[in-house]
């Protein structure tokens, strides 16, 4: 028996098959089917922003004025060792991670001289400064030395100031350039190095200018290696911690950030 199928009935069957296939395609592959889904909202970007904000809140940073980056220049090594700072020649740290410094500083108790975490405490007294940095310790305290007025300053200080156009606005970059250009380990080099050491590892100023105050406590015949520099660092860690206010945008930490990091 022969069955005759008209062209119209064949076309209807093909149309039904296409419709079924379209339905299956939408169910199995909704993204590839045009008009099957709306454009995705930008929720992922919002979440990323929220996540970034959360990280900033959890790990705040600080503005630092006292960084070791300026220290590592071509020093006159024998002279530096004779001054008592030979241990610094082997240091490779040139910068400090500010978020970690902020975290440690936030947990520093200047009364107990300890960094206090939830289940652990770290001493930061002068003994540990000596162990970490190898600086002279146990000698004369800089804070007990008599202040020398500018009118009574020694000739070496007067000659040293002549190197710079405006000593009251001296910056570390100028100081570093002068040290690099120096070919003789004379009094000028010694004072330059001392100012560099003080402003990178001990205490700078909130305005970014070099701190020159300790120079007016040291005489030319004073042996730098006889000064307790470890006590000096701890003393200024306490002082700068007291005045540092992280809530103020304009507040800089200008204390010994490098020691905190170590």
Residue 110 near residue 240, CB atoms below 8 Å: no
Residue spans of the chain under pLDDT 50: 1-11, 13, 24, 26, 28, 31-32, 36-49, 52-57, 70, 72
Question: For the whole prediction, is pTM greater than 0.75?
Answer: no
Residues 141, 17 share a domain: no
pLDDT at 24: 46
Residues 47, 16 share a domain: yes
Residue 117 lies in a domain: yes
For 146, which DSSP code?
A: P
Enter the tokens of residue 11. 């076309």
Residues 119, 33 share a domain: no
C-alpha span between 161 and 12 (Å, rounded) = 102
Enter the tokens of residue 207. 């305005």
pLDDT at 135: 94
Residue with the two structure tokens 């162990």: 131
Domain count, the chain: 2
182-195 pLDDT, tens per residue?
A: 888 899 999 999 99
Residues 164, 243 share a domain: yes
Residues 189, 97 share a domain: yes
Residue 2 lies in a domain: no
pLDDT at 11: 44
pLDDT at 42: 46
Provide the residue range defining the domain that includes 224.
62-261
Angstrom distances, CA of residue 30 to CA of 21, 23, 43: 13, 10, 20
């Amino acid at each position: 028996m022969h069955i005759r199928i008209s062209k119209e009935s064949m076309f209807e069957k093909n149309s039904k098959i296409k419709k079924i296939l379209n339905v299956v395609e939408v169910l199995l592959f909704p993204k590839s089917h045009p008009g099957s889904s709306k454009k995705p909202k930008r929720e992922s970007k919002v979440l990323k922003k929220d996540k970034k904000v959360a990280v900033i809140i959890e790990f705040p940073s600080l503005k630092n004025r006292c960084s070791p980056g300026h220290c590592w220049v071509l020093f006159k090594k024998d002279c530096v060792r004779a001054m008592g700072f030979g241990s610094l020649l082997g240091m490779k740290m040139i910068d400090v991670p500010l978020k970690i410094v902020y975290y440690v500083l936030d947990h520093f108790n200047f009364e107990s001289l300890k960094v206090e975490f939830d289940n652990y405490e770290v001493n930061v007294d002068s003994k540990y400064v000596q162990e970490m940095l190898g600086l002279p310790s146990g000698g004369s305290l800089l804070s007990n030395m008599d202040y020398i007025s500018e009118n009574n300053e020694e000739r070496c200080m007067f000659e040293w100031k002549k190197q710079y156009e405006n000593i009251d606005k001296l910056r570390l970059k100028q100081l570093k350039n002068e040290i690099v250009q120096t070919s003789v380990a004379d009094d000028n080099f010694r004072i330059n190095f001392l100012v560099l050491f003080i402003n990178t590892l001990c205490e700078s100023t909130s305005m970014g200018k070099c701190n020159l105050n300790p120079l007016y406590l040291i005489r030319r015949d004073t042996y730098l290696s006889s000064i307790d520099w470890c006590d000096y660092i701890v003393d200024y860690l306490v002082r700068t911690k007291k005045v540092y206010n992280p809530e103020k945008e304009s507040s800089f930490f200008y204390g010994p950030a490098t020691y905190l990091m170590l």
